[in-house]
Structure 1
């Protein structure tokens, strides 16, 4: 059974990574938990990735951007995301919406020590593996660990339902890269462009090198901290960026899809 699951996982991963250079970018709902309608608004816009930042407080994964916010946070990953997602899968019979083709990745940005967060997260996910394990179903919600992550050589030590947000600076072998859902990096590490006018040639050249490196590894790429407007989305799309990081999900989706 284990060998069969590994084979299925490998096929799904190969199919997904064979489409990293698609003409239509995917949309990443940045810091979705801070929005007036977390989860539901992003699903309504068919966001491809939905992000939640987590800290550990009193044995729970709370949603917050800073330690100070975490100390007073009331909302948890479980009650804001996991439980509602399970309810949607019950309502729509093993999918998150009436659209049979739609699913998304839940990107969990770990703000605390990863060794404190992942055991709690694993326990929560194992309650509903048919919902959160894409190895079982192509419509399941893929879990991506971002922020504070295990080192590359540790990725294979984690259950297959954990995938990871990679970095261009990290080296992955043929097996480890199968656990990398996408490559992400800080736009400002390569460009100072403010999102108006044309992207300078020097910035384009730097970004293209990083994009090419990610694609050669078989991974889609995302830049955080990039300008977040229609001009920037168009420029990033032309460069071959696969996943557009945005706080303006509805506008971005309308512009790129």
Structure 2
């Protein structure tokens, strides 16, 4: 059974700042949301760029986390799952960064008007990890007015928090930086290693590597205990948790898994079905004000 060690978050991070970046569950500070739709703090749009309107559809369904795969091709950061999907006009800037910049400016500093919760932009690097990250860093610097950043271990939370996933070769250049406009997507092996939430605010893992249960029948007690242990260990480090490869076909099995994720306080629920998860969370996960 999974049982990582626990540690104390680096003091320089600061409890308030760390919790704002690391856990939407603890960052639900509302300015004045009376007339505005409530964003869904656990909703993560897997492969968001595959929807008819990348980013826009996720925001219309009140998602607070979106995922974009990027490739460094001829100096451009192109968005798509496979090389065959890439087209020159579908860049990270055109699909995500430019629309987010315009939206945050229009909303006076937030993605969702009246709410100060940051939008997580999970950027999955698909090729040439180090080179792609260094080019990404140069691009992100242009949008620094809306981004969360870390400077010598201290975090300032902005309207958009980029988190780098995918090619693990991006880690080394990120760790070497004194100023970063992005954070690192950790794995289960990173729990209990002493790496602070100012670098790894998110722990992501493949559901099927830890669990055989796919939503049919009751969840085995030992697997439920493992799920809760993983989440508790991450939250003790002020890190959020996301599972990918959870069942996502419409039906009772998917809802059973989603219920267990909610019960364990998993921070991000992964889906391609934006409307389906919106309905589920609107019913079962009440916002914190």
- Does residue 1:69 correspond to 2:74, yes or no? no
Considering fraction of residues, name the structure with more helix.
1
The separation in 2 between residues aligned to 1:245 and 1:80, in whole angstroms, is 20
1:169 corresponding residue in structure 2? 189
Aligned-pair CA distance for 1:61: 0.8
- Does residue 1:243 correspond to 2:268, yes or no? yes
Aligned partner (choices 199, 208, 223) of residue 243 of structure 2: 223
- Secondary structure of 2:197 counterpart: helix
The separation in 2 between residues aligned to 1:15 and 1:96, in whole angstroms, is 15
- Does residue 1:188 correspond to 2:203, yes or no? no
The separation in 2 between residues aligned to 1:75 and 1:183, in whole angstroms, is 28
1:109 corresponding residue in structure 2? 124
- Structure 1: stretches of 5+ with no match in the other structure: 1-5
2:17 corresponding residue in structure 1? 12
Cα pair 2:149 2:181 within 8 Å, conserved: yes
Aligned partner (choices 53, 57, 64) of residue 73 of structure 2: 57
The separation in 2 between residues aligned to 1:18 and 1:40, in whole angstroms, is 23
1:147 corresponding residue in structure 2? 166
- Structure 2: stretches of 5+ with no match in the other structure: 1-10, 28-39, 249-253
Cα pair 2:78 2:88 within 8 Å, conserved: yes
- Secondary structure of 2:201 counterpart: strand
RMSD: 2.9
- Secondary structure of 2:109 counterpart: coil
Aligned-pair CA distance for 1:233: 0.7
- Secondary structure of 1:146 counterpart: strand
- TM-score, reference length from structure 1: 0.84
Cα pair 1:208 1:239 within 8 Å, conserved: yes
Cα pair 1:134 1:141 within 8 Å, conserved: no
Cα 1:155/1:235, change in 2 over 3 Å: same
Aligned-pair CA distance for 1:226: 0.8
Matched length: 250
- Does residue 1:95 correspond to 2:120, yes or no? no
The separation in 2 between residues aligned to 1:179 and 1:132, in whole angstroms, is 15
Cα 1:129/1:15, change in 2 over 3 Å: closer
Aligned partner (choices 207, 225, 233) of residue 227 of structure 2: 207
